[in-house]
Amino acid sequence: MSKPTYRHDAQERLAEAIRDRCLRELQQAWEQAGISGLCGDGRWEVAIGRLRMLTGEELLGDLPAADDGS
């Protein structure tokens, strides 16, 4: 198996950061919907709705600046 390239490492870190952000958003929306009194189905709809509303800027906004490897 070959060693991952720098580009692959950067893409993997980006994918992990986006996944982590989505999971945080889902959890926060789920919890907030529960506090608002929604049932499980309602909480799920709110959480998915939050993911659908995320912008690229929101997903990438808290990431460190890209390092081009030079």
Q: What is the pLDDT of residues 36-63, one digit of tens each?
A: 999 999 999 999 999 999 998 888 876 6
Q: What is the pLDDT of residue 28?
A: 97
Contacts of 31 (CB under 8 A, 6+ apart): none
Please check whether residue 1 lies inside any domain of the structure: no
Model-level pTM?
0.72
In total, how many domains does the chain have? Answer: 1
Please check whether residue 70 lies inside any domain of the structure: no
* Tokens describing residue 45: 């709809």
Domain with 12, as residue range(s), is 6-58
Please check whether residue 69 lies inside any domain of the structure: no
CA 31 to chain centre: 16
Which of the two residues, 66 and 32, has the higher pLDDT score? 32
Which of the two residues, 8 and 1, has the higher pLDDT score? 8
pLDDT digits over 7-40, tens only? 788 889 889 989 999 999 999 999 999 999 999 9
Please check whether residue 35 lies inside any domain of the structure: yes
| Residue 70 to residue 60: CA distance in whole angstroms | 22
If one counts every other C-beta atom within 10 angstroms of the C-beta of residue 43, the result is: 19
